[in-house]
Amino acid sequence: MSGPDFLALLPLVLVSAMPVVVMLAIAFFRDHVLAAALTLLGLLVCFASLPFAASYAPRHITPLLIIDNYALFYMGLIFAATFAVAVLSYSYLGMLRVRREEFYVLLLLAAAGSSVLVASAHFASFFLGLETLSVSLYALVSYPSSREKAIEAGVKYLVLAAVSSAFLLFGMALVYGQLGTMEFSGIAEGAAGLRAASPAFLGAIALIVVGFGFKLAVAPFHMWTPDVYEGAPAPVSAFVATVSKGAVFALFLRYFARVDIHQMGSLVLAATVISIASMFTGNLLALLQQNVKRILAYSSIAHLGYLVVAFLASGALRVTAVSYYLVSYFIAMLGAFGVVSVLSGREGDAVDLDAYRGLSSRRPFITGVFSAMLFSLAGIPLTAGFIGKFYVIAAGAGSALWLLISMLVVNSAIGVYYYIRVIITMYSARAEGETAETALSKGAVSLGGGLLLAALTLGLVWLGVYPSPLVSLIQKTIQGLR
C-alpha cells in the first residue's frame, strides 16, 4: 500500500478510529456531553475528509476494498445519517436511566461497518463489514435494557441476522467453489463465462439473494422488521431503517452492477417477485397498524420494494434512480423517526396513533415536519420523495418494466392512504371532553433535535424543488460501476 492509498482510505481510517477514541475518552471521563460531542465532531471530520479522498479515487486498495466516487458518496450519506441519529440519541438517551456513553461507541462502530460495506469489492470485506454492522446493532437495538420490548427486539434481530449471515456465507462458499475467486470483478467475469448456469451456481445466487433479502427486509424475509422497529429505541430504528438498509442496498447494486442481471432469467424473476411482494406486503399491512413505528416499518418494506424496481432497470438511470431514491428515503425516514424520537417520553416511545390526535394545535412545528416527511414518503410534489419516485418510475419505464411500474403505481395509491391517515389524525381536533393530556412528551423539543428536524425538512424541500445538483453528484459516482 502506498501513500495515496492511505489518503484515499482516510475516511474509512477515521471512522474506524472514532469508536476507539470515544471509548478511550469514556474510560477517562465518563460524561454524556463529551461522548456525544466527540462523536458529532468525529463524524464531521470524517465527512470533511471525503472530498480529499475523492481526489485520489478511484483506487483499488488490496483486493478487498475499492474507493471510488460511488463508495465515497454512500459514505457521505452514512456519516450524515449517523450524525442525525447521534443528535436524536442525545436527547433520547437523556431520558433513559442507563449508562449512556457506550451507545455512541456502538453507533460509530455500526457506521464504520456500513462504510466498509459500501467500499468492499470482495466477499471477505463484505462479510466483515456486515458483521461489524450487525453486531453493533444487536446491542443498539436492545440498549434500553430495562425495557422488555427492546430485549425481545434485540434477540429477534440477533437470531434472524445470524441465520441470514449463515445463508450468505453458504452462498459465498458455493460461489468460491464454482469460480475459485471471491472478488466481485472475478465473479462477474466467471459468471459471464459460465453460460448455462449450473445448479450449484444458481443455488449460490439464491442463497445470496436470501441473505440480502433478510438484511434489506424485503418480503418474504421481512417478518423481523416491525417487531425490531417497534422495540428498538426510536433513533436506533431510524438507523436500522436508513443506514443499515442503505449500505446493504448500495453493496447489492455494486455486486450486481458488473453482472448483466438480465441474462439471468431466474434472478430477474426472483427480484420481480420480491419487489411486488414487498410492495403489497408493506403497504397492505401498514393499513392495519395503529402503531406509528410499525406503520413506518411496513412503509420501509414497501419502499425497498420500490427500490428493487429501480434495481431491475438497466442503463445509467438505474444507479441514479436508486441513489436519489435512497437519499430521499434517508431524509424522510430520519425525519419521521426523529419526530417519534423527540415526542417520546421516559415511559416509552410515542407510538400510539391516537396520541397524535390534535397534535397540530399543540405542536405546529413538529406536525409540519412530520407531515412533510410523510408526504415525501408518499411521493407528493415539493418533497424529495416526489422526485425519487419519479426517478424510479422513469427508470422502470426506460427499461419497459411495465408490470412492475403498474404495481408501483397501484401501491403508491394504497400507500397514500396510511400516510395521510397519520397526517389527518394530527390535524383533526380532539374529541369533546378529551383533554390534551397524552403519553406524548410535553417538554420542549431540544435545541439539537429541533434544528435537526428543521434541517431535514429544508433538505427535503430543497431536493424536491431543485434536484439538479444532487443528480449531477450522483452521476459522477456512476463511472466506477461500469
Partner 1 sequence: MILLWLIIVPFAGGVAAWILGLRGRGGGSAARWASIAALAVDLALLAAILAGRSAAAGRHGDFFLEARAGWVPQLGISIHLGMDGLSLLLVFLTVFMGIVSVVASWTEITERAGFFHFNLLWCLAGVIGVFLSMDLFLFYFFWEMMLVPMYFLIAIWGHERRTYAAIKFFIFTQLGGLLMLMAILGLYFIHGSQTGAYTFDYFDLIGTRMSSAAAFWLMLGFFVSFAVKLPAVPVHSWLPDAHTEAPTAGSVILAGLLLKTGAYGMLRFMVPLFPDASQRFAPVGMAVGIIGILYGAVLAFGQTDLKRLIADTSISHMGFILVGIFAWNGLALQGVTMQIISHAISTGMLFILVGALQERIHTRDMDLMGRLWEKVPVMGGVAMVFALASLGLPGLGNFVAEFLILLGAFRANPAASAAASLGLIVSTVYALWIMQRVFHGDERTRWTLPDMSVREKGVAAAMIVAIVWLGLYPQPVINEAAPALDGLRRISISGPQAVKIPAPDFRLTAAAKAVPLPAEEDPAFDKKARVVPDISSQKSGEGVNERP
Residue ranges that bind partner 1, judged by CB under 8 A: 313-317, 320, 375, 380-382, 386, 390, 393-395, 397-399, 402, 405-406, 409-410, 412-413, 416-417, 420-421, 424, 427-428, 466-468, 471-472, 475
> Which residue type is seen at 226?
P
Q: Element (H or E) spanning 65, and its range? A: strand 65-67
User: Which residue's CB is nearer to partner 1, number 272 or number 314?
Assistant: 314
CB-nearer residue toward partner 1: 248 or 372: 372
Contact between 359 and 367 (Cβ < 8 Å): yes
Q: CA torsion sign, 55 to 60 to 64 to 69?
A: positive
CB of 55 vs partner 1, minimal distance in Å: 22
Helix (H) or strand (E) holding 66: strand 65-67
Closer CB to partner 1, 256 or 418, in the complex? 418
Q: Which of 245, 248, 235 is nearest to 336 (CA)?
A: 235
Nearer to partner 1, 200 or 413 (CB): 413
Task: Rank residues 341 and 376 by Cβ distance to partner 1 and give the closer one.
Answer: 376
Closest C-alpha among 236, 245, 15, 246 to residue 116: 15
Which residue, 78 or 474, has its beta carbon nearer to partner 1?
474
* Cα 252 from chain centroid (whole Å): 13
Q: What nine digits make up the cell of 384?
A: 424529495
Residue number with CB closer to partner 1 (148 or 432): 432
**What residues are paired with 65 via a beta bridge?**
61, 120
| 156: its cell numbers | 429477534
Residue 403 C-alpha cell reads as 408490470
Q: Which long-range contacts (CB under 8 A, 24 or more apart) does 2-5 make?
A: 4/56, 4/59, 5/56, 5/59, 5/61
The one-character DSSP state at 240 is: I
Smallest gap from residue 467 Cβ to partner 1 (A) = 6
Distance CA 148, CA 318 (A): 42
Give the residue with the Cβ less far from partner 1, 263 or 406.
406
- Calpha distance 99→310 (Å, rounded): 42
Minimum gap (Å) between residue 468 Cβ and partner 1:
5
CB atoms within 10 A of CB 380: 18
User: Please, which residues have CB within 8 angstroms of residue 3's CB and are 6 or more apart in sequence?
Assistant: none
Rounded to a whole number of angstroms, the minimum distance from the CB of residue 355 to partner 1 is 18
**Residues whose CB falls within 8 Å of the CB of residue 54, separated by 6 or more in sequence, listed in order:** 69, 72
Contacts of 377 (CB under 8 A, 6+ apart): 299, 303, 329, 332, 333, 336, 385, 415, 419
Q: How many residues does the chain have?
A: 482
Peptide bond into 381 cis (omega under 30): no
Cβ-contact 329, 306 below 8 angstroms: no
Q: Which is nearer to partner 1, 21 or 416 (CB)?
A: 416
CB of 316 to partner 1, least distance (A): 6
Based on CB atoms, which residue is closest to partner 1, 315 or 443?
315
Shortest distance, position 389 Cβ to partner 1, whole Å: 9
How near is the Cβ of 413 to partner 1 at its closest, in Å? 4
Q: Is the dihedral of CA 159, 161, 164, 166 positive or negative?
A: negative
CB of 374 to partner 1, least distance (A): 11
Nearer to partner 1, 64 or 378 (CB): 378
135 C-beta neighbours (distance < 10 Å), count: 17
